[in-house]
Amino acid sequence: MQIFLDTADTDEIRQRMQAGLVDGVTTNPSLIAKSGANILERIEAICAVVDGPVSAEVVATDLDGMLKEGRRLREIAGNVVVKLPLTQAGLACCARFAEEDIPTNVTLCFSLNQALMAAKANATFISPFVGRVEDAGGDGIELLHKIRAVYDTFGYETQILAASLRSTAHVEAAALAGCDAATLPPKIFDQLASHPQTDSGLETFLSDWKASGGASFV
């Protein structure tokens, strides 16, 4: 499963790229607004750091506006994925971009029917919002399983990008559901390699080594 960072903070991205564990980045208008940066300049800066997919979202709501903004975003770098809302206009734009070989990430997905429509529009990625589904009383993880089952049944190539993940348990569940990718806030990403028993085990090993008078490696 690919792991993407959900942030527009270039410093956060650089810090976590060092281990080679980050496969891409997703952004949205809210994240860009919080950064205080110009959207085109910030996407360009992110693409300079990240080799993998970088999802950059349009803010237009009409088809012509989405087409114009999406093409402009794609001009920034070859790894830009145009992020589109799951609306009728967004799906029409997605289908048009598929014909133009422009990769897309259809976002704000909350139902299996929506995911089906995105696949029929030849979306590159579909982003089901697990946490927000749960906020509304639904089962976000079950939605991932349903999408996986339908995509596999009909041979759709759209990749499932689990979004709105708020815990390491969400990440585990997304992996078990067979998602192709998951996008995480940096704080959740940092928790993936952590476990209290790892910390205590390491502390014990080092304490035993020191007590034995073990020689230094340098």
Active site residues: 83
Element (H, E) at 4: strand 2-6
Q: Are 7 and 37 in contact (CB under 8 A)?
A: no
Check residue 215 and report its DSSP letter: P
**Half-sphere exposure (Cβ direction) of 104: Cα atoms closer than 13 Å:** 33
Looking up tokens 């910030």 gives 42
Angle between helices 10-17 and 39-49 (to 10 degrees): 10
Q: Are 95 and 40 in contact (CB under 8 A)?
A: no
Give the list of residues 6+ apart from residue 199 with CB closer than 8 angstroms, or none.
none
Looking at the DSSP bridge assignments, the partners of residue 183 are 4
